Structure 1
């Protein structure tokens, strides 16, 4: 799998609950149609292990078969629509991508 990993924080004038509801609801509807999307995992951040890690509200991992499939998704009209939708949100985000390596299989 090739993953696009997004970490985001809410806008200053939103509550954490509002942001998670928006991300898993209204914004999710923009994400589901991405071509080639194989899996989507979302983690609501409820606590930070250390102070410098605080301030984030959630992490999404969008998985594709390979880099070519992710590139196709990023070039799609569906991606453009999702990015435009995020533009209304005004929070912070980090986006990184890379190949997944399972280090421990499910036990």
Structure 2
């Protein structure tokens, strides 16, 4: 799998709960429509392990078959709609892409 990983923090005027509800609700309705999306996992962050990791609300991992499939999704009208919905929310985000390797299955 080739993944788009998004780490996000809510806008300053939103609560954590409101942000997670929006992410898993209204925003998810648009995200699920991305062409080529094979899997989507979301983690609502409830605590940081260390002080330097504080301030983040959630993590999404969107999985595609290949880098090309992800690039096609990022060029789609569905991605444009999801980005437009975020607008100028004023939250923070880190977005990275890369090849997944299964390291352990229990």
State TM-score, norm by structure 2: 0.97
How much has 1:37 moved relative to structure 2?
Answer: 0.1
Aligned to 2:49: 49
Cα distance between partner residues in 2 of 1:62 and 1:89: 21
The match for 2:22 is 22
SS of alignment partner, residue 78 of structure 2:
helix
Q: Deviations over 1:40-72 (max 9, x none)?
A: 000000010000000000000000000010010
The CA RMSD over aligned residues, in Å, is: 0.7
Question: 5+ unaligned residues in a row in structure 1: which ranges?
Answer: none
Alpha-carbon deviations, 1:18-58, whole Å to 9, x = none?
A: 00000000100110100000000000000100000000000
CA–CA separation in structure 2 for the residues paired with 1:13 and 1:98: 32
SS at 1:48 equivalent: coil
Distance 1:13 1:58 in 2: 16
Find runs of 4+ consecutive structure 1 residues off by over 4 angstroms.
none
Once the two structures are superposed, what CA deviation does each residue of 1:84-104 show, in whole Å capped at 9, x if it has no partner? Answer: 111153211010000000111
Q: Tell me the distance in 2 between the aligned counterparts of 1:45 and 1:93.
A: 14
| Structure 2: gaps (5+ residues) | none
Q: Does 1:31 align with 2:31?
A: yes
Equivalent position SS for 1:6: strand
Distance 2:42 2:34 in 1: 16
Alignment partner of 1:63: what SS? Answer: strand
